[in-house]
Amino acid sequence: MSSNAVSPIKSRAHVRIKRWTRKYGAVTVWITVACGLLWTIQQQPQYGPARGVTERVETSVAPVADGMLEHVVVELLDEVKTGQTIALMDDHLLRAEVDTARAELVRLQAQLDANQEEMRRSSALEEQKDQDSRRRFAMDEEEARLNHLQMSVQQDEDKVDLERINLELQREETLLAKGMTSRENYDNVRLRYEALRKKVQENENALAAALRMHDEAVARQNALQEQPRDLDLERMLAPLQKAIAVQEAAITEIQERRKQLILLSPGAGQVTAILKQSGETVMAGDPIVTLSLDNTLRVVAYINERAIQEVPVGTRARLSSRYRPDLTTGAEVVKVGRQIEPLPIRLLLNPVTPEYGIIVILALKDPVFYPGECVNVALDNSLE
């Protein structure tokens, strides 16, 4: 009896379990697999959607000293190269300083000529051959210094004029192509440019020769250093040598300031703004032209703040243009921020809903995007 009473209870449990297994067993297996897969995915870095903007590198061209803007060479949206002339500053004041320096050099040359004449008369009376050679070599050295200074001043002025004529020639060439000037005007400018360029080239050779003469005079003078000092010569040349040294420093300063009057492009790119016009007075540091430089190779992107792990440096990514989705390229994370930042308005999905994320910098493999272009960033969870 007891065995008959217990048997139906076990039989019901067994039947129930068997029915439940038949009905829910497959579901249970699928739920288990799904939970395992979800757990596995959670162990991988989840960076979420990322959006970014290609870096826009802008720079301004500005004078280093106050002055009047003589001419802006470029126009809006012009493509420029590194070292290309952007604008010219007026040099009337500097030319006045050059004229003053040139007049002082003429005065020093006259003083040197007078000293040489006095030295010849003194040598004729004393009839000392060695002393005469030493005095002549010393005079030759100072004369070579003066000649080199005078030629340097003229050469520097010619180079600036050559740059101006070159710009004028480029304008005439453009106008000629458009039929807005005559061939005669173009040829006149071209001939002026070629004549001055030839003069500058010849003067470069003359400057080199003048420098060699100065070095030779110094060498001859040094060869006589073991001989007794000529106090009369030193007393005669001391004021002249000091005056020449002062003029050398003044002319060097003028040359450096003159170089600064030609404003050059710091890199290759495009003119995005012209802020000053010819004839305006500008202060030192005031931007005249703004340039957008080429070769945009970085992207500033924002990883959604819901990212559960920090994105490691070296993470690979695939970037595509937001409005040109067919344009894609690879990139790699090179820098990662350490705090949550608000996304720029243009990157928001809804302009009225603020979003936040971690800022990262990505290095592009190829500069295929425009500077400032919005891109979508797909980060790769696995690293090679």
Residues 58-75: tens digit of each pLDDT: 899 999 989 999 889 899
Average pLDDT over residues 94-100: 82
Sheet with 289-293, strands from edge to edge, namely: 58-61, 289-293, 269-274, 79-80
Q: What digits encode the pLDDT tens for the residues 148-175?
A: 888 888 888 888 888 888 888 888 888 8
The identity of residue 241, as a single letter, is Q
Which pLDDT band, with edges at 50, 70 and 90, does 376 fall under?
A: very high
pLDDT, tens digit, 9 for 90 and up, residues 188-221: 888 988 998 898 888 888 888 888 877 777 776 6
Instruction: Specify the pLDDT at position 157.
Output: 83
Q: Is the pLDDT of residue 346 over 50?
A: yes
Question: Rounded mean pLDDT of the chain?
Answer: 80
Q: How far apart are CA 89 and CA 78, in angstroms?
A: 20
Question: Span 1-27, mean pLDDT?
Answer: 56
Q: For residue range 273-329, what is the model confidence (pLDDT) as tens digits?
A: 999 998 899 999 999 999 998 877 899 999 888 765 678 889 999 999 999 988 999
State residue 343's pLDDT score.
92
- Statement: residue 363 has pLDDT above 90: yes
Q: Are 99 and 251 in contact (CB under 8 A)?
A: no
Interatomic CA distance for residues 58 and 269, integer angstroms: 9
Check residue 43 and give its pLDDT.
Answer: 47
pLDDT at 148: 80
More confident residue, 120 or 171: 171
Could you give the percent of the chain with pLDDT greater than 90? 23
Q: What is the pLDDT of residue 258?
A: 84
Confidence at residue 96, expressed as pLDDT on a 0 to 100 scale: 82
Q: Compute the distance between CA of residue 76 and CA of residue 290 in angstroms, rounded to an integer.
A: 10
The answer to whether residue 47 scores a pLDDT higher than 80 is no
Q: Name the one residue in this structure whose structure tokens are 């350490």.
A: 338
User: What residues does each domain of the chain span?
Assistant: 1-43, 50-56+294-379, 91-260
Please check whether residue 348 is in contact with residue 53, taking contact to mean a CB–CB distance below 8 angstroms. no
Q: What is the C-alpha end-to-end distance of the chain, expressed in Å?
A: 73
**Structure-model confidence comparison of residues 295 and 11, the more confident one:** 295
pLDDT-derived band of residue 384, with 50, 70 and 90 as boundaries?
very low
Q: Which CATH entry fits the domain spanning 50-56+294-379: 3.90.550.10, 1.10.290.10, 3.20.20.70, 2.40.30.170?
A: 2.40.30.170
Max CA separation in the chain (angstroms): 163
Instruction: Name the percent of the chain lying above pLDDT 70.
Output: 77
Which residue would you say has higher pLDDT here, 254 or 374? 374
Residue 32 is predicted with a pLDDT of 73
Q: Say what the pLDDT of residue 159 is.
A: 84
Of 130-139, 244-253, 353-362, the one with minimum mean pLDDT is 130-139
For position 276, what pLDDT does the model report? 93
Instruction: Match 């979508």 to its residue by tokens.
Output: 376
Residue 375: what pLDDT? 94
Placement of tokens 């949206």 in the chain: 77
